[in-house]
Chain A
Amino acid sequence: MHRSREPHLNTAEQRPLATRRQQPDRGEAVYVDDIPSPKDCVYGAFIYSTKPLARIKKVDFKASLASEKILTFISAKDIPENGENIGSATPVGTEALFPDPVANCAGQAIGVVIAETQRYANMAAKQALVEYSTEGLGKPILTVEDAVENNSYFEIPSEYTPTPVGDFSKGMEEADIKISSAEVKLGSQYYFYMETQVALAIPDEDNCITVYSSSQSPEFTQSVIARCLGIPFHNVRVITRRVGGGFGGKGFRSIPLATACALAAYKLHRPVRMYMDRNTDMVTIGGRHPLKVKYDVGFKSDGRITALNLYVLINAGITRDYSPYFPRKFIASIKKYNWSNLSFDVRLCKTNLTSKSSMRAPGHVQGSFVADAIIENVASVLSLETNHVRRTNLHSFDSLMLFYEGVNEEANNYTLPSIFDKLAVSPDYQSRAEAVRNFNYANKWKKRGISSVPIVYMVYCNPIPGRVSVFNDASIVVEVGGVELGQGLWTKVKQMTAFCLGQLWEDGSEKLLERVRIIQADTLSMVQGWITAGSTTSESSCAAVQLACNVLVERLKPLKDRLLEEKGVVSWDLLISQSVKEYVNLSASSLHVPSQNSAKYLIYGAGTSEVEVDILTGATTILRSDISYDCGQSLNPAVDLGQAEGCFVQGIGFFLYEECLTNSDGLLITNNTWNYKIPTIDVIPKEFNVEIINSGHHKYRVLSSKASGEPPLLLAASVHGAVREAIRAARLDYFSTSGGSQGSALTFDMDPPTTMETVKELCGLDIVEKYLVGLIK
């Protein structure tokens, strides 16, 4: 039975009316692949390299029926002369579209096969016979260890370099106990958006092109396509109406496909559609950054940590992409605990693997997990309760400000200690922990565990444009830079529009909601759209809309007041029809640029999870998860609740189920739904309680709200921690019957994902035999 607690809803203050989202549940919502194919449309599929570092000498196709369907093959040679071999660009770097001629990773797109249907294109791509040559190219670098050996790094720009705190050596001197060179490793995770990468490119007159792209950043897509084709930006219209799941994977990694598609269309003078099949998507589109951390930590015997040093090797793949931003986020999440003194050496390793990109809570989830892994290590060495050690090392407001220098925060807004206490230290928690201990004492083949995790998440706000316009029939159309990915951006923007224009409406803004329509992102209609990422685009889009509406209100209020005097009551329709007659400008644009005070802020939350592990099979059942999430004053509790729950379950996938494995060439071999398992409905907590806490008014945040798109993902680490506790209980039994030491029972490596096989192994594969032997004795 699945239950969920109701989020607290705002009552007192004037709030935008919560609206439910436009639901594409009737199958009528149009995604890129639903757009009817134009006449003469052809279809493309990528061929990718299976070698990590090889020159592409020739691309041929097997003599087969499928090969006969090939119309043509588009590759680097088809890039226009005044264009560029560019496949993607971020503010910190660009990357090539196709190898010319050296492929730098297994999974790199070599070119596009064009055929009359998508199925033929996909089949034809499998017929490719690529001739490689590795002469004179050296050995590929596949692991972070290889990268260190070969000095293969990406530089971290100085403005994104994280800052240390205090003096590590001094801190170590104050320590009673030290742990040296402990290691934590984290693997990758694939986005598994339900809609794979897709684009439809339609060439137009005068060297122009329209590209429908499922993308989080139409603006960046436009710039790359224009540069690739060697045409001005104003010739390229990129349209994104909605995205069937992004999770960061359509921020930059969608650009190569859109560009390849545009290139093919430009070259062939025909519309081209490319809808990536799932296997190709998994192989070619990066995913989360795998990383390895070695740490030294010093602490007092009461659990208080005095110093922490981290040596972090991040596997960034073959191009910069998002990676230069990663270290700052990673360290920001590490800083959630008061380490007293924190130093680190963070390196971005350049490897011959597909480029790793931003994925929901990039750097944050890893940093938060590593921080808790360190705490757990400390707690087990001291034989103290882990939550007690967590609590001991939570920040005071002063230490929080020391670690998060430059963030605008007030003491009464630092709600983490009270949130954590309620979830992880309260009598309610203690009785549950007791119940878990009793269960473990009484049960041999099933063990339970309970664990908690606090989070401090730093978000950055984006500069986002907006435009609000009113038609003659008084219906309202809104455009924002933000893209609807399912995060409820359109819902919140619609609310904000109605809320702001509500002062011009005759009786509050409820009916006004129905008169508002948000339309698709179009790069020729709205410039500077930026990227929908970082959890804050919804609120930034709302802020942009607020600015635009304020301009409209300023223009219309005098007219409304005048009409009120004349007529006594003025409806919205009357106001607009009069405005039209008097040539009032009914369209207003804006660009919301976050101020110094609002550019970044901290989000707090905590989670407790209880699991039951079947020792014999290794299966984990999540019995209950409780999340407490400080959402400021939620713009829409239903949306934020949905984000929190969805995040958390995606996090469960990262910590328990989703394992990315590569072969010796670095090619992803877990590349289909049969061997890569995202959470299904039977995996979620049986009891799932989410509390969206509404905290106080905040001057600089959009209507005092806080972001919700990514931070709750970190709380899924509580599930991992709970599994660790359950395994610990199993090992205590195991080692006591086999006469091992308690120390080796309690300390073990448990790097995520903790799959069934891992659990079984950690609990002892010979546990049944040992038990039977024990019975005989």
Chain B
Amino acid sequence: MVNKLERVVFALNGERYEVSPVDPSLTLLEFIRTRTHFKGPKLGCGEGGCGACVVLVSRYDPTTDEVSDVSASSCLVLLCNINYCSVTTTEGLGNTKDGHHAIHQRFAGFHASQCGFCTPGMCMSLFSSLVNADKENCRPKARDGFSKITVSEAEKAVTNNLCRCTGYRPIVDVSKSFASDVDLEDLGLNIFWNRRGDASVEKLPRYCKDSVCTSLNF
């Protein structure tokens, strides 16, 4: 006897979505791009190999009373798998209307975006790494304006995202700029300071770890 899932309820960038009946083969990416007004996640390969479709999927586990936040390639996530989950795309991270997230502003400021197609997925992969690092209570509190993530973790935050334009170096700089153990003077050309000696976190778009609510709140 197979359990039939007759409807799926989830949040997408804080908006409630209910889908019924559910096409079992419908992917999250196709749903977002064809049934909602969000266009951030892109179709780059459709097989989980490029990261252009990465979104954040948050799930509440009642047994542990914890929310897990995972980055996922939405081209491979089936709608059926995200019942009662909360999905965040780059538009949920920040937009022209509600204000831009520090990640967006730093991508712009470090020239980490050229054609821009990989950027939404990059931002969400990085965001996912920051969220998970900051959740770890066993780590000491981060310096003001930084995340608990370390430089070596930050460097790995976007290993599953392909970029054909930038050569990745400025994207690595953006990721590292959030790290608790970064030396800001190591980072490359950006609009926030002119000389390496002037590098300081006050000049960077401020990172507040709880600025974006990723969990379901309805």
Report which A residues bind B (CB closer than 8 A).
1-4, 6-7, 20-21, 23-31, 33-34, 37, 117, 119, 191-196, 242-245, 247, 275, 277-278, 485-488, 637-639, 641-642, 645-650, 672-674, 678-682, 684, 688
A361 to chain B, nearest CB (A): 14
Known A-B contacts A485-B115, A682-B159, A684-B167; the reply to A27 vs B47 at CB < 8 A is no
Name the prevailing secondary structure of the A interface residues: loop
CB nearest to A487 among chain B residues: B114
* B1-9, B61-69, B128-136, B184-192 - interface stretch: B184-192
A716 to chain B, nearest CB (A): 10
Interface presence of B158 (CB below 8 A): yes
Chain A residue contacts of B44, Cβ below 8 A: 194-196, 278
Chain B residue contacts of A646, Cβ below 8 A: 114, 164-167
Q: Is the CB of A3 within 8 A of B186?
A: yes
Q: Is the CB of B94 within 8 A of A26?
A: yes
A533 to chain B, nearest CB (A): 15
Interface presence of B59 (CB below 8 A): no
Known A-B contacts A20-B108, A26-B95; the reply to A642 vs B172 at CB < 8 A is no
Known A-B contacts A24-B113, A27-B40, A673-B47; the reply to A642 vs B170 at CB < 8 A is yes
Q: Mark B39-57, 1 if CB is under 8 A from A, else 0.
A: 1111111111110100000
Instruction: Determine the distance from Cα of A34 to Cα of B91 in the docked complex, in whole angstroms.
Output: 14
Chain B residue contacts of A684, Cβ below 8 A: 167-169
Number of A-B contacts (CB under 8 A): 189
B13 to chain A, nearest CB (A): 10
Task: Show 6 A/B contacts (Cβ-Cβ < 8 Å), sorted by A.
Answer: A2-B172, A27-B41, A194-B115, A641-B189, A673-B50, A681-B171
Chain B residue contacts of A648, Cβ below 8 A: 167
Q: Mark B7-40, 1 if CB is under 8 A from A, else 0.
A: 0000000000000000000000010011000111
B176 to chain A, nearest CB (A): 8
Q: Is the CB of B115 within 8 A of A681?
A: no
Q: Is the CB of B119 within 8 A of A25?
A: yes
Name the prevailing secondary structure of the B interface residues: loop
Q: Is the CB of B91 within 8 A of A26?
A: yes
6 more CB-based (< 8 A) A-B contacts, given A26-B96, A638-B189, A673-B47: A27-B40, A33-B43, A192-B164, A194-B118, A247-B164, A674-B47
Interface presence of B141 (CB below 8 A): no
Q: Mark B146-166, 1 if CB is under 8 A from A, else 0.
A: 000001000110111111111
Instruction: Determine the distance from Cα of A2 to Cα of B186 in the docked complex, in whole angstroms.
Output: 8
Known A-B contacts A25-B123, A646-B114; the reply to A1 vs B151 at CB < 8 A is yes
Q: Is the CB of A23 within 8 A of B169?
A: no
Instruction: Determine the distance from Cα of A674 to Cα of B46 in the docked complex, in whole angstroms.
Output: 12
Instruction: Determine the distance from Cα of A681 to Cα of B115 in the docked complex, in whole angstroms.
Output: 17
Q: Is the CB of B169 within 8 A of A2?
A: yes
Partner of A277, one of B38, B46, B169: B46
Instruction: Determine the distance from Cα of A242 to Cα of B96 in the docked complex, in whole angstroms.
Output: 19
Instruction: Determine the distance from Cα of A27 to Cα of B88 in the docked complex, in whole angstroms.
Output: 12
Q: Is the CB of A649 within 8 A of B43?
A: no
Chain A residue contacts of B47, Cβ below 8 A: 278, 672-674
A695 to chain B, nearest CB (A): 19
Instruction: Determine the distance from Cα of A275 to Cα of B169 in the docked complex, in whole angstroms.
Output: 30
Q: Is the CB of B46 within 8 A of A486?
A: no
Chain B residue contacts of A31, Cβ below 8 A: 42, 117
Q: Is the CB of A245 within 8 A of B111?
A: no
Chain B residue contacts of A244, Cβ below 8 A: 42, 115-117
Chain A residue contacts of B91, Cβ below 8 A: 26-28
Partner of B108, one of A23, A243, A486: A23
Q: Is the CB of B116 within 8 A of A642?
A: no
Instruction: Determine the distance from Cα of A105 to Cα of B90 in the docked complex, in whole angstroms.
Output: 41
Q: Is the CB of B94 within 8 A of A645?
A: no
Chain B residue contacts of A678, Cβ below 8 A: 162, 164
A202 to chain B, nearest CB (A): 18
CB nearest to A244 among chain B residues: B117
Known A-B contacts A244-B116, A645-B167, A646-B167; the reply to A20 vs B109 at CB < 8 A is yes
Interface presence of B206 (CB below 8 A): no
Known A-B contacts A29-B116, A33-B43, A646-B114; the reply to A672 vs B163 at CB < 8 A is no
Instruction: Determine the distance from Cα of A52 to Cα of B172 in the docked complex, in whole angstroms.
Output: 44
Q: Is the CB of B115 within 8 A of A195?
A: yes
Known A-B contacts A245-B117, A275-B43, A488-B114; the reply to A26 vs B104 at CB < 8 A is yes
Interface presence of B143 (CB below 8 A): no
Instruction: Determine the distance from Cα of A245 to Cα of B166 in the docked complex, in whole angstroms.
Output: 11
Chain B residue contacts of A23, Cβ below 8 A: 104, 107-108, 113, 116, 119
Instruction: Determine the distance from Cα of A30 to Cα of B37 in the docked complex, in whole angstroms.
Output: 12
Chain A residue contacts of B186, Cβ below 8 A: 1, 3
Chain A residue contacts of B161, Cβ below 8 A: 681
Chain A residue contacts of B117, Cβ below 8 A: 31, 193-195, 244-245
CB nearest to B152 among chain A residues: A1
CB nearest to A30 among chain B residues: B39
CB nearest to A652 among chain B residues: B167
Instruction: Determine the distance from Cα of A12 to Cα of B55 in the docked complex, in whole angstroms.
Output: 46
Chain A residue contacts of B42, Cβ below 8 A: 31, 33, 194-195, 244
Q: Is the CB of B46 within 8 A of A649?
A: no
A121 to chain B, nearest CB (A): 13
B146 to chain A, nearest CB (A): 17
Q: Is the CB of A119 within 8 A of B30?
A: yes
Q: Which one of B162, B188, B191 has the highest number of Cβ atoms from chain A below 10 Å of its Cβ? A: B188
Instruction: Determine the distance from Cα of A194 to Cα of B114 in the docked complex, in whole angstroms.
Output: 11
CB nearest to B90 among chain A residues: A27
Q: Which one of A2, A7, A681 has the highest number of Cβ atoms from chain B below 10 Å of its Cβ? A: A681
Chain A residue contacts of B33, Cβ below 8 A: 33
Chain A residue contacts of B160, Cβ below 8 A: 680
Instruction: Determine the distance from Cα of A275 to Cα of B43 in the docked complex, in whole angstroms.
Output: 9
Partner of B163, one of A191, A194, A487, A638: A194
Chain B residue contacts of A2, Cβ below 8 A: 155, 168-169, 172-173
Instruction: Determine the distance from Cα of A645 to Cα of B188 in the docked complex, in whole angstroms.
Output: 12
Q: Mark B82-113, 1 if CB is under 8 A from A, else 0.
A: 00000001110111100010011001110101
Q: Is the CB of B39 within 8 A of A27?
A: yes
Known A-B contacts A26-B94, A673-B49; the reply to A20 vs B111 at CB < 8 A is yes
Q: Is the CB of A672 within 8 A of B189?
A: no
Q: Is the CB of A6 within 8 A of B196?
A: yes
Q: Is the CB of A4 within 8 A of B45?
A: no
Known A-B contacts A195-B42, A641-B189; the reply to A486 vs B169 at CB < 8 A is no
Instruction: Determine the distance from Cα of A678 to Cα of B49 in the docked complex, in whole angstroms.
Output: 11
B68 to chain A, nearest CB (A): 23
Q: Is the CB of A27 within 8 A of B38?
A: yes
Known A-B contacts A243-B115, A278-B45, A681-B158; the reply to A194 vs B164 at CB < 8 A is yes
A243 to chain B, nearest CB (A): 7
Q: Which one of B38, B42, B107 has the highest number of Cβ atoms from chain A below 10 Å of its Cβ? A: B42
